[in-house]
A and B are shown apart, each in its own frame.
Chain A
Amino acid sequence: MMRIRSVGVSGRISTISYRSVRFHSSHNPKATSLSADEMAHFNALASSWWDVNGPQRILHKMNLLRMDFIHSTIRNHIKLNGPEVPVDEQIYIPPFNVDLLPKPIRNTIIKEQDDKRDSILNQVKWKVLDIGCGGGILSESLARLSFIDNVKGIDLSKDVLEAAKLHKLKDPLLNDNKLNYELMAIEDVPASEKYDIVTMFEMLEHVDHPSKVLVEALKRVERGGWVFISTINRDFISWFTTIFMGEHILKIVPVGTHTLEKYINQSEIRQWFDERKDSFKVVDAKGCIYLPAYGWKFTSSPDVGNYFMAIQRIK
């Protein structure tokens, strides 16, 4: 019980006695499983997961950028004037860059569009599946959004999920209808359950068979729904930033978090989705980089280092 108490309150209580691998997975038959040493690594991190100044601080900071990416992608792809909207009720969308207009007119147009987006978003109630939710950093954020009805977070690390469940209690907004965690692999989620948003953040680089995970995940996406993923390009820059600097020099990422061989290039995922372009479309990809003393920042190139990707199911 001591372990549980320490979670999220301060994270300073030692976790050393819990470094044993509690959730054995050496004979796990699941294709999507974490390898045994990955599991041990994440279990050991469980108690300090929610200490925003602790070992996972960089992940908490990254979550801000993830949410910016998800939020802006969804907002920017809302159809302001659907085919059923009568002409006189349509929102004016200038066929040119609004920055060319005088400032007051530009602001009015942008405000009108924003208000319309708000009103459309206010009417939807989306369901989210967060695969590899870990301690629930992303799941909690998604569950608090006004247009999200509920979030289901799944993970294979029991201790980390326990940290997630405990931390959920620390916000009355996140009641049982809003946010649920379950210890299960993606293929154990009933295929009949469809989700408007499926997320896999900082997860593909930790599994042994990422393409199998993706296939299973895509089966559970609602028509018109979104898939958001993030992982890391397999290049020198990534090794230098995430492993050499992050884990060993600056020590802002727990040692052993990353394995270079498991990184996946942006182009590989793009290619993978190209083979499925009848039903899925890569809408956006953005690189991101961590700058010490500033935080995470989008970069112009998704082919270097960490990146986010947004994919929409078109039919």
Chain B
Amino acid sequence: MTSSVMEDVVIVGGGPAGLSVLAALKNSPKTRHLKCTLVEASDLTNVRDFYDNPGENYTNRVVSVTPKSVEFMKSRIGNWDYMKEDRVKFYDRIVAYDSQDNDNARIDFDAGSTESGVLAAMIENINIQSSLLKKIEEINDTEGTTVLDKTKVEDIISPIQQSLEDHDLNEIDPNAGNADLDWPIVKLSNGDIIQTRLLIGADGYNSPVRKFARIESRGWQYNRFGVVGTLKMEYEDYRSVGWQRFLTTGPLAILPLTEDNATMVWSSTPKLSEILLKTNKEIFPHLVNAATVLDEADLNYIYKLLDYNPDDMAVIDEIKWRLEKFDQQNLEENYPLKVVEVLDGSRARFPLKLSHADTYIAPRIALIGDAAHTIHPLAGQGLNMGQSDVAALMTALESGIDRGMDIGSTLVLDSYVANSWPSNHMLLGICDKLHKVFATDYYPVVALRGLGLKSLNVLESFKDIMVKIISAR
């Protein structure tokens, strides 16, 4: 049996949040002396390989990154230098419109008034992860940095609680670490046992770290799935616009990537998501085009045909003649470009849910990213909330070091929660209400929101506020 080792920080989870916090800790002169280990269950080989060989096609997990997050990556994490910038697409406008109102209720968010003229950037998850991993490797702190992939956390135990409830009182575990310390003990699948001053849970929605800390997480399933896919458009769209159409089944977002590429997040009912996944790949681009323009009654008919036979090529004609009824110039100017192809194997779905942990900290524990909160993707805030968690946590840890505190103490971690929880809660609430308002075809609500969208569209002050939220200024 291996005996336990002591570390200052153990990070569980090698997603963008976990890698960000490790890179930020190692990039800050105040915290770089801390001994850190990151543990990730999956294989990070593809993430490592991406830096030298990014491949031709876009991957299907693409996130919207606000200018604030970009600035954080540039100045405090330092991973932006290792980002494949030719695969990063900045966009400056979002057009959101409603499927229930033929009177063309829409709201147009334009970043023109903001300092950078940029609303957000579309970046592949793997691009972000690989730049972070490269940054960590370039810092080359072999003594104080360990990244363990293909390694699972098998157990987390508290040296204080164990004799009371988890273990037989008469049996002393020789590998339980130093019982004088209240530091959590992390047992790994490779046999390592680490006792750590601070345990950071970046381990996602089902966070084992959160469960160990007995922090309650509240929320609900939306009974919706987000269907993602990588699309080819008929040509490169020089407008740099993100499109979002609110269907009663959930919003369909088409977001620009470089050249003629785009990525799609189609929030849909469980039934519809199955149809979207099984629809023949020749038909699928037409289906997306239909969903950006047609009435929901027409769409429901098309869904029904495809559910009955997902390879029914006659559906293409059903869609085409319906689209031809529209004013073609209006379609060209005020709607997304035509989709011509969906990349093989790029379609996938994930369940949509809202959750928020009651707090992000416990003694010697901090939660970041999806372990702390999950959000509806309609405003593209998921990754950015994780980045602002990392920023707030770093500020708390840096000032804790300046004050000579034990960085696992809640006296240090308190300010992390105080600076991140309320704003996250507000954002979760806003996105939740948006989802609910648009997920109905109940006429009074539809009329009100049509009126709302139109009046909001002329209210510049409201739009400025929304642009500030979307681009996190």
Contact = CB atoms under 8 A, between A and B. Distances in A.
Interface string B192-208: 00000000000000000
A170 B182 contact: yes
Most buried by A among B29, B410, B411: B411
Contacts of A71: 402-403
A143 B406 CA distance: 11
Given A53-B410, A63-B403, A64-B403, 5 more contacts: A9-B160, A64-B405, A68-B402, A68-B403, A169-B180
A141 B405 CA distance: 5
Nearest to A171: B406
B181 A141 contact: no
Contacts of B29: 118
Contacts of B410: 52-53
Nearest to A173: B406
A231 B178 CA distance: 38
A142 interface: yes
B404 A67 contact: yes
Nearest first, the 3 closest Cβ-Cβ pairs linking A and B are: A141-B404, A67-B403, A144-B404
Contacts of B409: 52
Contacts of B411: 52, 60-61, 63-64
Contacts of B181: 170-172
Contacts of A63: 403, 411
16 contacts: A9-B182, A53-B410, A60-B411, A63-B403, A63-B411, A64-B403, A67-B403, A67-B405, A68-B403, A71-B403, A140-B404, A140-B406, A143-B404, A146-B33, A170-B181, A170-B182
Max chain A C-beta neighbours (<10 A), residue from B6, B403, B404: B404
Interface string A139-172: 0111111101000000000000000000001111
Contacts of B405: 64, 67, 141, 144
A144 B411 CA distance: 15
Nearest to A115: B29
A145 B404 contact: yes
Interface residues of A, number: 23
Contacts, number: 44
B405 to A, nearest CB: 6
Interface in A121-144: 140-144
Interface of A: 9, 52-53, 60-61, 63-64, 67-68, 71, 118, 140-146, 148, 169-172
Contacts of B406: 140, 144, 171
A314 to B, nearest CB: 26
A7 to B, nearest CB: 12
B144 to A, nearest CB: 14
Contacts of B402: 67-68, 71
Contacts of B160: 9
Nearest to B410: A52
Contacts of A148: 404
B143 to A, nearest CB: 16
Interface in B136-184: 160, 178, 180-182
A209 to B, nearest CB: 30
Given A52-B409, A61-B411, A141 B180 contact: no
A170 B179 CA distance: 9
A170 B404 contact: no
Contacts of B6: 172
B62 to A, nearest CB: 32
A8 B458 CA distance: 60
B180 A170 contact: yes
Interface string B253-291: 000000000000000000000000000000000000000
Contacts of A142: 404
B113 to A, nearest CB: 20
Interface string B391-420: 000000000001111100111000000000
A61 B405 CA distance: 11
Most chain B C-beta atoms within 10 Å of own C-beta, residue among A63, A64, A144? A64
Nearest to A142: B404
Nearest to A294: B418
A117 to B, nearest CB: 11
Q: Pick the most buried of A61, A169, A172: most chain B CB atoms within 10 A of its CB.
A: A172
Nearest to A145: B404
Contacts of A171: 181, 406
A145 B29 CA distance: 14
Interface in B365-412: 402-406, 409-411
Nearest to B409: A52
